[in-house]
Amino acid sequence: MPNSLVNLFKILLILFIPVILVIGSIRLLVTDGYLAREYGKTSFPDDPYGFDRDRRLVYATANFRYVRENQPLEVLADQKSGEAALYNPRELKHMQDVQKVYQSAWRAWQLALGLSVLAGLVMVWSGDTHTALASALKWGGLLSAGLIVVIGLLAVLAWRLWFVAFHRIFFASGTWVFNTSDTLIRLFPEKFWFDAALTISGLTLGAGLVVTLIGLVWGSREKIQYAKIG
């Protein structure tokens, strides 16, 4: 395989691995199981306006499914709390934005994974590129771990700054600020997002180190094998 093509595949893998690991970690959190685990924590704050844990979990689960499964907005708009609509128009608009961001990220994950698998298979099939593939895994894993350590530290050391910066990147100014009595804040208080940021950081860091280890071990074996052949 030409060196230029090998280098291209290697660079793509290094850049795509962080995308796959970060978005993959996010996907693991957008689940009913994660919600139940989070709401079950003794440290999770109660809703001061009256939602009990079971009711909260039902509403939040439907909210996550709307985002995850790309459901129509009516799924949320038709929900009621007593006789009143569960979400106000501003909350519904924000959830539309959230769904668009999530679905775009999910498509990016699918594209990155597909191209990475394709590049990996080509490099595996070509016997003389195994070392380059191992190197790509090593550096892609290290890049993922390094980036997530920085992001995680920023979240811990400057949470409010991190939280505001994150929302300003993905959402229009003012569209993500709500009253404490609004349903979205009652379902997903700040504690929820802080825990989510740490969990995503932990999952990505662990996965990045595993990928790095695989690349290191494989690369070492390839070097030993080539040395024996030589």
Note the pLDDT tens digit of each residue in 98-150: 999 999 999 999 999 999 999 999 888 877 788 899 999 999 999 999 999 99
Cβ count near 97 (within 10 Å): 15
- Angle, CA of 93, 99 and 102, to the nearest 5°: 145
Beta pairing, strands 80-81 & 84-85: antiparallel
pLDDT in tens, 171-211: 998 899 999 999 999 999 999 999 999 999 999 999 999 99
Q: How far is CA 81 from CA 46, 50, 67, in A?
A: 17, 11, 20
Count each helix (H run) and each strand (E run) in the chain, helices first.
9, 2
Nearest to 96 by CA among 124, 76, 118: 76
Query: Residue 188 has which token pair?
Result: 């997903």
Which domain range does residue 92 map to? 3-229
Number of domains observed in the structure of the chain: 1
